[in-house]
Structure 1
Amino acid sequence: MARKIGSRYTAHQILGRGSAGTVWLGEGPDGPVAIKLLREDLASDQELVGRFVQERTALLGLEHPHVVSVRDLVVDGDDVALVMDLVRGTDLRTRLERERRLAPEAAVAIVADVADGLAAAHAAGVVHRDVKPENVLLDMQGPLGPGGAHPALLTDFGVAKLIDAPKRTRATKIIGTPDYLAPEIVEGLPARAAVDIYALATVLYELLAGFTPFGGGHPGAVLRRHVTETVVPLPGIPDELWQLIVQCLAKAPASRLRASELATRLRELLPALAGLPALEVDEPDDDPVVEPQEEPSAQAAPSAGDPARRTGAVSLVPGAKPDSNRDTHTSMRVPAPDELAGGARGTARAPRTPGTPRPGSARHRTAARRRRITLSVAGLALVAAVGAGAWWATSADDTPQDAPHSAPPVP
């Protein structure tokens, strides 16, 4: 059913849903458009609407071949909508779910396109804050690039910037998708341009491996891994590409490349990647484990019967419908410093025998503590036994065999 959006646009059908709103296929004065209609609770927030109006110039001014441009902002009654370019294609998550992992040349070409878009945004003072496969669109009508990759465009600029505002989000909350959050965001620091580089490097790792470097299991555990653990190496890719990924996944923001540098370096690597097949990587053993209370926790823990998710982001919206799994903004508690200090400094995603606790996890520490207690008890019993035997032997040697036993004299 058609729906009027302001006086210039008509929304015809729903293309997708997300936590910030619903995307419609629409029609405007200049032809087909995509219309992102914000949720009713967001649209009724006058402060938020005011910020959208104030940022109108910035939203409309961000134009780049690898960015989905915002054409117009509509505020009409209860409707607040962003009118955007219509990209005829699919998102990167859909392709990843279909193919599981991409050949290195195609993966690098796609990420290089996104890095170009981020470079333009960062130059304009805009930080995306939620780079992930769901927010990367592939233009199926555009010319094919290296490895047969379709042109990639980054979408949802401005929404993260405006919804995640200091007055709207308390300091005890963080916004984003756990698998792609930079360590500084987990620790409650401001989001700078470097957080987009970290998230994009995570996307590149996922395109190559089929899983994110720190994902899997309870969202609280995912957050801690970003801060405390190192990334598992990927065999079968050139060392220069691997070192680039490691640099962009550095815990310190200052150690990461800028978006323009990352795009240039990736395109320089493309000739060496031509013809390389998709990697054969063993997926980590993410046996579903309910962590004890001492682990960092989010608002909701997965039920014991939920299957382990090996790819994509950890869903933080319980009972999300299949058509609403493109969630963008979700509030979570920021773990305390003592919680972030826990855990192993090794590689959480390394394959291991099913049922074996991950080194450094609560289960691993509990098992180790039990072993120490058992060994301590056994040691005390052994010492007591040896001491008793020595006392008996000494007493037997000092007492004549024919002497009668008597009690010691009372002083």
Structure 2
Amino acid sequence: MEVPGYTEIRELGHGGTGRVMLAVRDSDGLAVAIKHLSDPLREDDEFAGRFRAEAQVIQEIDSPHTARVLDYVEAGDDAVIVMELVDGITLRRLLEHEGGTGAESALVVLKGALLGLAEAHERGVVHRDFKPENVIVTQEGESKLVDFGVAAHFGETAGLVGTPSYMAPEQWDEAPAGPATDVYAATLVFFECLTGHRPFLGADVAALAYQHQYVPPPVEEVDEPLRPIVEHGLAKDPVARPESARAFLAELEGVALTSYGEGWEQRGRAGLGLLT
């Protein structure tokens, strides 16, 4: 499909649900990313509805820490989401290449994630699939949250939703997701940035479900000043986690300042920029 008003240049990536294309907006030459659904999923009413809902959800969020939706276009049997082009690499790619990021850079990643999640939460939206693949890190050391494909409003249920390695205990029970669900996933990613690996490495989905629901995280692998953050964010009971991404952010900044001094954020961003 040719998207009216845009000229596609090349593919940026693809997966099971579709592909993302680099394009320019004809009216002003602005570089954008265009997300297409795959051909089979376009014919699936449920997925097509979810795709449309994703565009609506992201349009509700206005944050420099999330990729903005610029347009939603339907033409014939196709539909696309036109998004801000984020110049950077996925956190997954960075971790695969570098292992961990170091403590200060990990704190910067977590802060950026929490800022993006806070904007979503304050509009009643929970991401439900926070993971390194859905975080883009720029050369300036900033991070942006992308892909709200399974996002929902508070209290909505939709079966077993998420990526098993990053699913909170309540997701395994198919309970409604809330802000604490995203806080749990963001803390898992924080642990991975610190150590170079996930806290739970079950060999299959059943093992991962058991670990997330019942096994304490190995906080001894984390620098001692940061263990309280990890323990709080990875509490099994969502009620025992920070009540919101904004509250968790305040906790993070207090620990970072006390443990690493006033320049922690600047140094962390510089470190991330070098890794990209």
User: Which range, TM-score by smaller chain?
Assistant: 0.7 to 0.9
1:107-118 map, 5 Å: 107-118=106-117
The percentage of counterpart residues that share the same residue type is: 36
2:129–2:163: 8 Å Cα contact kept in structure 1?
Answer: yes
In structure 2, distance between residues paired with 1:88 and 1:213: 29
1:251 aligned partner: 236
2:54–2:151: 8 Å Cα contact kept in structure 1?
Answer: no
1:237 aligned partner: 223
List per-residue Cα deviations over 1:5-28 (Å, max 9, x = no partner): 2x1122221111233221111111
Shift of 1:55: 6.7
1:4 aligned partner: 2
How many residues were matched structurally? 258
Shift of 1:49: 3.4
Root-mean-square deviation (Å):
2.5
What is the DSSP-based 3-state SS (H/G/I as helix, E as strand, rest coil) of the residue aligned with 1:217?
Answer: coil
Q: Tell me the amino acid that sits aligned with residue 229 of structure 1.
A: V
In the alignment, structure 1 segments of 5+ residues that lack a partner are: 143-149, 277-411
> Are 1:273 and 2:260 matched, yes or no?
yes
> Are 1:27 and 2:24 matched, yes or no?
yes
2:129–2:151: 8 Å Cα contact kept in structure 1?
Answer: no
1:9-88 map, 5 Å: 9-28=6-25, 29-30=27-28, 31-50=30-49, 52-53=51-52, 57-88=56-87
2:219–2:230: 8 Å Cα contact kept in structure 1?
Answer: no
> Are 1:154 and 2:154 matched, yes or no?
no
In structure 1, distance between residues paired with 2:21 and 2:240: 40
In structure 1, distance between residues paired with 2:211 and 2:120: 28
1:209–1:234: 8 Å Cα contact kept in structure 2?
Answer: no
- Aligned residue among 213, 217, 241 for 1:227: 213
List per-residue Cα deviations over 1:127-172 (Å, max 9, x = no partner): 10100000000122x3xxxxxxx00000012x1137xxx89x6x4x
In the alignment, structure 2 segments of 5+ residues that lack a partner are: 265-276
Moved over 6 A (4+): none
> Are 1:184 and 2:170 matched, yes or no?
yes
1:178–1:219: 8 Å Cα contact kept in structure 2?
Answer: yes
In structure 2, distance between residues paired with 1:96 and 1:51: 30
- Aligned residue among 233, 239, 249 for 1:263: 249
TM-score (norm 1): 0.58
In structure 2, distance between residues paired with 1:36 and 1:67: 15
In structure 2, distance between residues paired with 1:209 and 1:269: 18
Shift of 1:71: 1.1
1:13–1:25: 8 Å Cα contact kept in structure 2?
Answer: yes
In structure 2, distance between residues paired with 1:60 and 1:266: 28
In structure 1, distance between residues paired with 2:69 and 2:82: 6
2:273 aligned partner: none
Shift of 1:216: 3.6
1:75–1:81: 8 Å Cα contact kept in structure 2?
Answer: yes
Shift of 1:50: 4.5
1:32–1:86: 8 Å Cα contact kept in structure 2?
Answer: yes
Q: Which has the larger radius of gyration?
A: 1
Shift of 1:175: 2.2
Instruction: Considering fraction of residues, name the structure with more strand.
Output: 2
Are the structure 2 counterparts of residues 198 and 77 from structure 1 closer, same or farther at C-alpha, using a change threshold of 3 Å?
A: same
- Aligned residue among 172, 186, 198 for 2:184: 198
List per-residue Cα deviations over 1:73-129 (Å, max 9, x = no partner): 111123221111001110101111111111100101111111011000000111101
2:269 aligned partner: none
Q: Tell me the amino acid that sits aligned with residue 252 of structure 2.
A: L
Q: Tell me the amino acid that sits aligned with residue 2 of structure 2.
A: K
2:268 aligned partner: none
Shift of 1:41: 2.5
